[in-house]
C-alpha cells in the first residue's frame, strides 16, 4: 500500500464543513479534483456538482481537515513487533490522522540522512497516510554531539527532537538552537530534569505517596522549559515545547509568548482528558511521561488550550507490548497508543463545552501543519484532499480488539466515547472506512 | 484446641494492604491473633486446621525475619510451607513476577505470601493467581501484617486504641510500615504523629491524617507509643540526611528524648534495628521496649490472617 492520488472529480455534499484554517464552520460541500481540493464550504455547495462527478451525500456528517499528529513513536526500525510504519499508518487512518511526525528514537536512532531516507522510502512503499520523519538534535540522542541538521532537513526531516530525551547541557542546547535558527529548523523538545525527576514514576503528591510510588515534581518539567525559553530569546530559534503537562508550564509559555518569542507548545491528549487518579490501583496503561498530573493541572491545561497558550494537541502514540507493560508499576514502560482515540478523546472536551470544535481541530490539524510548514491542515482550494468525515454524535465503546495498532496499550480501554471517524481520505483516496 | 471460636467471617479474599479494611475486619484479625498467642505459648503449638494446605513464601527481597515468621505461622497451623527466594540481582527486575506467579499457581498453592521491591506487586500477583495472596511488603506501599502485629502489641499493652497518641519516627518517606500503621491506627481511632526531617517525609504527608513534626522534642511530647522506623544504610550518608552522627543527635531515640513521652510509653521498632542510628541500645533493651514482644506477636498476627482468609466457614472457601 502507499498513498495514491484519486482521479476525476468527487463531490461530498450536505456536510458540516469545519476548516479552522479559513475560519469556516458551515453546511456545504467539498469538491475534490484529481486528489486536490477544488472548493470546500457553502460556496462549493452552491456551485453544484460538475458533470461526470461522483456525488456523495454527507447529511449529518462533519468534514474536517485531516489531523496532523506532531508526535508518534513507531517501532520501525528496531521494534517492529510493537509497531511498523505500515501499522501506524493504518491506526492513523482509523483516527482521522492523515499526516504524522515520527519520532527519531528508533533503533538505530534517526540521526543520519540514510535513516531519514529509509523512513521516507518505507513510508512511500507501505504507508496509507503521510509519514513525516523527524531527526535527532544530537547523535544517538546522547545530548552531546549535534546532528547534520542542514543535510537532514534537505532530506526531509520536518523537525528536530531528541524524542524522549531532554538535553541536559545548556551550552549544547544553546548551540543546537542557534544552529537550527540559521537553517529555519524547528526544535521540538521534551523537558524533564533527570536529576529532579530521579526515580519518580508518577506525579509527586498525596496520591503517589499513598501508593508508595516515587513522585516526579512539576518543577522537573518547568526548570528545563524555562531554560529553553530563555535560550529561545537568546538565539531566536523556532522552539516547540513538545508536551507540557502542568499549570506552571503553561504560565511560563504564556509569558514567553507575550514577549513575542517564536515559541509554541504541545500537549498530549492524555493530559487533557485524564488525571493521576486514573492510575487507580497501579494501572500501567496510565503510566506516561510526563506523568498524568492533578485535576487542577488538567483544567489549567484545558484553559491554556482555549486561550491559545497551547497550540498543538498530540496523540503521543507510544506502542508498548505486554512484556513492557505487564509489570509492577514502577518497572513498567511509559507510554500509551493514541492515534485511534485522539479525536474522540478530544471531543470529550468539546461535548463538555470546555473548548470549541474549531479550537480542537485547529490544535490537531491547522496549527501543527502551520508550525511544521506543511501544506496540510486546511480544506482551502489547491490543498491536497486530506480530510476526514466524522459523525460527531455517534456513541461508541473503544475495544482493544478493534485497534489497528499492533500494540494495545490504550489509556481508553473500554471507554465510552462520542464522535467517531467514518472515513478518512488522503490525496482524495479513501484510506479508511468504518 | 479446636477451631470452634465464634469469629465473624472475614469478607476479604486477600490481604494486600490495610487500606480497605474497616474496624470489624481489624478487630476480627486481632481477636484471632490473641487466640494464636495463647496457642503459641502452649507446649503443643500446632493446630491441624491447615493440614493438606500449601503455603508458598515468595520473597523477591531478602528478609530472614519476616520469612521465618510467616513460615512458622503456616507450620503452626499445619500447612506445608515452601520458601522461594528470588534474588532480584539474578534476573532482570520484575520480569519474572508474572512468570513466577503463573508457575507457582500451577502448583496449586492455597496461600501465596509475597514480598517484592515494587509497590503494587502483591496486587498485580493477586490478579493472576487463584489463591489467597498476603502482601509481606511491596516497595514503599504497604506491609499490612506488620501493622497488625504492631496493633496487637499496642492493644495487649494498653487495652485500647481510642485516644492514644502514637508517634511514628524516622524515614516515613520510604516506609511501607509507616503507611500501613498510619491507616490502621487512624481507622482504630488513635492520634498519629509523624516525626522526622522533611527530606524523609512523602509529599502530601500533612493530608495523610497525621500531625507532622520535624523535631523529636515536640513530636514525642506526651505520646503513648513511640514507633521507630529503620533508616536504610544507603540513605544515611548525605543523600537524605547528612550523617549518622547528625541523624542520631536529632532523631535517634535516646533516654532524654524518650523522657518527653508519657512515663509508660511503649517503644516499638519493626526491626532489624540500627543501634546507635535511630535508637540507642539502652532504650532498645530498656523497660519500655516491647520490640521482642513484637516479634512474638508477628507469628500470631500472621496465623490470624491466614486462618481468616482460608476460614472454611467462608462461602467461597477461599482457595479450598
CB contact under 8 A, B203 and A209: yes
**pLDDT tens by residue, A205-234:** 999 999 999 999 999 999 999 999 999 999
Q: How large is the average pLDDT for residues A24-31?
A: 96
**pLDDT tens by residue, B254-294:** 999 999 999 999 999 999 999 999 999 999 999 999 999 99
Q: Is it true that domain B144-289 has CATH number 3.40.50.1370?
A: yes
| pLDDT above 90: residue A72 | yes
Confidence of residue B86 (pLDDT cuts 50, 70, 90): confident
The per-residue pLDDT of chain A, averaged, comes to 96
pLDDT of residue A294: 98
**A215 chain-B contacts, CB cut-off 8 A:** 202-203
Q: How many CB atoms lie within 10 A of CB A126?
A: 18
- Identity of the residue in B95, B139, B208 whose CB atom sits nearest the CB atom of A212: B139
Catalytic site residue A111? Answer: no
Q: How large is the average pLDDT for residues A247-276?
A: 98
Of A369, A397, A364, which Cα lies nearest the Cα of A384?
A369
Between CA A265 and CA B236 the distance in angstroms is 41
DSSP string, B181-249: HHHHHHHTT-EEEEES-GGGS-TTGGGSS-EEESSHHHHTTT-SEEEE-PPPGGGTTTTSSS-HHHHHH
CB contact under 8 A, A206 and B142: no
- Burial class from Cβ neighbours inside 10 Å (0-12, 13-18, 19+) for residue B12 reads middle
| pLDDT above 50: residue B250 | yes
Q: Is it true that domain A67-372 has CATH number 3.40.50.150?
A: no
Instruction: Tell me if chain B has a CB within 8 Å of the CB of A277.
Output: no
Q: How large is the average pLDDT for residues B147-158?
A: 98
Between CA B199 and CA B207 the distance in angstroms is 17
**pLDDT tens by residue, A345-364:** 999 999 999 999 999 999 99
CB contact under 8 A, A326 and B93: no
pLDDT of residue B87: 66
| pLDDT above 70: residue B251 | yes
Residues 311-330 of A with CB under 8 A from B: 326-330
Between CA A49 and CA A225 the distance in angstroms is 51
Among residues A111, A297, A316, A318, the one annotated as catalytic is: A316
* ipTM, two decimals: 0.91
**How do the domains of chain B map onto residue ranges?**
14-142+296-312, 144-289
Conformation bin of residue B271: beta by default, left when phi > 0, alpha when psi is -120 to 50: left
DSSP string, B143-168: -HHHHHHHHHHHHHHHS--TT-EEEE
Confidence of residue B97 (pLDDT cuts 50, 70, 90): confident
| pLDDT above 60: residue B90 | no
Q: How large is the average pLDDT for residues B155-165?
A: 97
| pLDDT above 80: residue A332 | yes
| pLDDT above 50: residue B320 | no
The CATH label, of 3.40.367.20, 3.40.50.1000, 2.70.180.20, 3.40.50.1370, for the domain at B14-142+296-312 is 3.40.50.1370
SS (H, E, C) B206-218: HHCCCEEECCHHH
pLDDT of residue B115: 95
pLDDT: is B103 or A180 the higher one?
A180
Question: How near does any CA of chain B get to the CA of A209, in Å?
Answer: 6
The pTM of the full predicted model, rounded to 2 decimals, is 0.93
Q: How large is the average pLDDT for residues B170-189?
A: 97
Sign of CA pseudo-dihedral B102, B108, B112, B115: negative
Q: How large is the average pLDDT for residues A104-116?
A: 97
- Report the alpha-carbon angle A129-A412-A422, nearest 5: 45
**How do the domains of chain A map onto residue ranges?**
9-63+385-433, 67-372
Domains B14-142+296-312 and B144-289 share a fold: yes
Non-local CB neighbours of A182 within 8 Å, separated by 6+ positions: none
Residue ranges of the annotated binding site of B are: 65-66, 93, 115, 143, 146, 176, 230, 271-272
- The grid coordinates of residue B91 equal 534476573
CB contact under 8 A, B123 and A281: yes
Q: Output the CA–CA distances (angstroms, integers) from residue A33 to A6, A10, A30, A50, B295, in the order listed.
A: 8, 7, 10, 10, 83
The per-residue pLDDT of chain B, averaged, comes to 92
CB contact under 8 A, B120 and A204: no
**A329 chain-B contacts, CB cut-off 8 A:** 118-120
Question: Domain A9-63+385-433 is classified in which CATH homologous superfamily?
Answer: Urease, subunit C, domain 1 (2.30.40.10)
- The grid coordinates of residue A21 equal 484554517
**Residue of A210, A219, A293 to mutate for B, most B C-beta atoms under 10 A:** A210
Amino acid at each position: 500500500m502507499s498513498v495514491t492520488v484519486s482521479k476525476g472529480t468527487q463531490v461530498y455534499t450536505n456536510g458540516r464543513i469545519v476548516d479552522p484554517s479559513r475560519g469556516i464552520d458551515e453546511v456545504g460541500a467539498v469538491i475534490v479534483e484529481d486528489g486536490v481540493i477544488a472548493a470546500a464550504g457553502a460556496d462549493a455547495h452552491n456551485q453544484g456538482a460538475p458533470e461526470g462527478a461522483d456525488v456523495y451525500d454527507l447529511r449529518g456528517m462533519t468534514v474536517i481537515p485531516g489531523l496532523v499528529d506532531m508526535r508518534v513513536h513507531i517501532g520501525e526500525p528496531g521494534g517492529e513487533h510493537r509497531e511498523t510504519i505500515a501499522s501506524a499508518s493504518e491506526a492513523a487512518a482509523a483516527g482521522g490522522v492523515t499526516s504524522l511526525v515520527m519520532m527519531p528514537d528508533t533503533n538505530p536512532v534517526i540521526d543520519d540522512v540514510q535513516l531519514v531516507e529509509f523512513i521516507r522510502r518505507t513510508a512511500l512503499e507501505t504507508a496509507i497516510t503521510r509519514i513525516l520523519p523527524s531527526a535527532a538534535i544530537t547523535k544517538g540522542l546522547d545530548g552531546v554531539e549535534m546532528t547534520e541538521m542542514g543535510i537532514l532537513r534537505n532530506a526531509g526531516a520536518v523537525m528536530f527532537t531528541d524524542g524522549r530525551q531532554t538535553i541536559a547541557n545548556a551550552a549544547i542546547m544553546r548551540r543546537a538552537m542557534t544552529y537550527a535558527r540559521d537553517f529555519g529548523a524547528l526544535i521540538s523538545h521534551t523537558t524533564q530534569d533527570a536529576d529532579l525527576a530521579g526515580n519518580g514514576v508518577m506525579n509527586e503528591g498525596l496520591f503517589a505517596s499513598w501508593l508508595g510510588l516515587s513522585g516526579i515534581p512539576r518543577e522537573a518539567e518547568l526548570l528545563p522549559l524555562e531554560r529553553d525559553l530563555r535560550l529561545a530569546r537568546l538565539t531566536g530559534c523556532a522552539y516547540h515545547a513538545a508536551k507540557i503537562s502542568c499549570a506552571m508550564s503553561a504560565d511560563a509559555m504564556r509569558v514567553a509568548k507575550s514577549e513575542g518569542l517564536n515559541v509554541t507548545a504541545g500537549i498530549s491528549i492524555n493530559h487533557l482528558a485524564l488525571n493521576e487518579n486514573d492510575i487507580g490501583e497501579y494501572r500501567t496503561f496510565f503510566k506516561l511521561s510526563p506523568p498524568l498530573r492533578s485535576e487542577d493541572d488538567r483544567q489549567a491545561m484545558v484553559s491554556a488550550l482555549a486561550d491559545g497558550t497551547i497550540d498543538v494537541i498530540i496523540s503521543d502514540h507510544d506502542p508498548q507490548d505486554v512484556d513492557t507493560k505487564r509489570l509492577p508499576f514502577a518497572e513498567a514502560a511509559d507510554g500509551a497508543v493514541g492515534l485511534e482515540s485522539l479525536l474522540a478523546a478530544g471531543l470529550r472536551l468539546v461535548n463538555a463545552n470546555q473548548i470549541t470544535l474549531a479550537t480542537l481541530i485547529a490544535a490537531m490539524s491547522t496549527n501543527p501543519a502551520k508550525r511544521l510548514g506543511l501544506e496540510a491542515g486546511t480544506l482551502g482550494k489547491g490543498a491536497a484532499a486530506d480530510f476526514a468525515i466524522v459523525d460527531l454524535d455517534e456513541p461508541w465503546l473503544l475495544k482493544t480488539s478493534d485497534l489497528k495498532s499492533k500494540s494495545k496499550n490504550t489509556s481508553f480501554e473500554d471507554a465510552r466515547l462520542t464522535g467517531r471517524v467514518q472515513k478518512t481520505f488522503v490525496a482524495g483516496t479513501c484510506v479508511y472506512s468504518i | 484446641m479446636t477451631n470452634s471460636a465464634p469469629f465473624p467471617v472475614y469478607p476479604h479474599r486477600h490481604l494486600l494492604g490495610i487500606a480497605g479494611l474497616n474496624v470489624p475486619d481489624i478487630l476480627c484479625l486481632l481477636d484471632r491473633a490473641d487466640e494464636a498467642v495463647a496457642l503459641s505459648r502452649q507446649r503443643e503449638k500446632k493446630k491441624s486446621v491447615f493440614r493438606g494446605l500449601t503455603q508458598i513464601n515468595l520473597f523477591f527481597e531478602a528478609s530472614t525475619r519476616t520469612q521465618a515468621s510467616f513460615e512458622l505461622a503456616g507450620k503452626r497451623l499445619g500447612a506445608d510451607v515452601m520458601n522461594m527466594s528470588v534474588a532480584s540481582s539474578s534476573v532482570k527486575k520484575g520480569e519474572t513476577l508474572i512468570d513466577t506467579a503463573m508457575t507457582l499457581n500451577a502448583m496449586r498453592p492455597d496461600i501465596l505470601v509475597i514480598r517484592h521491591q515494587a509497590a503494587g506487586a502483591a496486587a498485580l500477583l493477586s490478579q493472576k493467581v487463584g489463591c489467597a495472596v498476603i502482601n509481606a511488603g511491596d516497595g514503599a506501599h504497604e506491609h499490612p501484617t506488620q501493622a497488625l502485629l504492631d496493633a496487637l502489641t499496642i492493644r495487649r499493652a494498653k487495652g485500647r486504641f481510642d485516644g492514644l497518641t502514637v508517634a511514628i519516627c524516622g524515614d516515613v518517606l520510604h516506609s511501607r510500615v509507616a503507611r500501613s500503621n498510619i491507616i490502621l491506627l487512624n481507622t482504630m481511632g488513635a492520634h498519629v504523629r509523624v516525626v522526622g526531617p522533611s527530606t524523609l517525609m512523602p509529599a502530601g504527608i500533612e493530608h495523610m491524617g497525621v500531625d507532622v513534626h520535624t523535631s523529636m522534642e515536640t513530636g514525642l511530647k506526651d505520646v503513648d507509643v513511640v514507633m521507630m522506623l529503620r533508616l536504610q544504610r544507603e540513605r544515611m550518608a548525605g543523600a537524605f540526611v547528612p550523617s549518622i552522627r547528625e541523624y542520631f543527635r536529632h532523631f535517634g531515640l535516646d533516654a532524654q528524648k524518650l523522657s518527653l513521652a508519657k512515663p509508660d510509653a511503649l517503644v516499638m521498632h519493626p526491626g532489624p534495628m540500627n543501634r546507635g542510628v535511630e535508637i540507642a541500645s539502652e532504650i532498645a533493651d530498656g523497660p519500655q521496649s516491647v520490640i521482642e514482644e513484637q516479634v512474638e506477636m508477628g507469628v500470631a498476627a500472621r496465623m490470624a490472617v491466614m486462618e481468616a482468609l482460608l476460614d472454611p466457614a467462608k462461602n467461597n472457601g477461599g482457595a479450598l
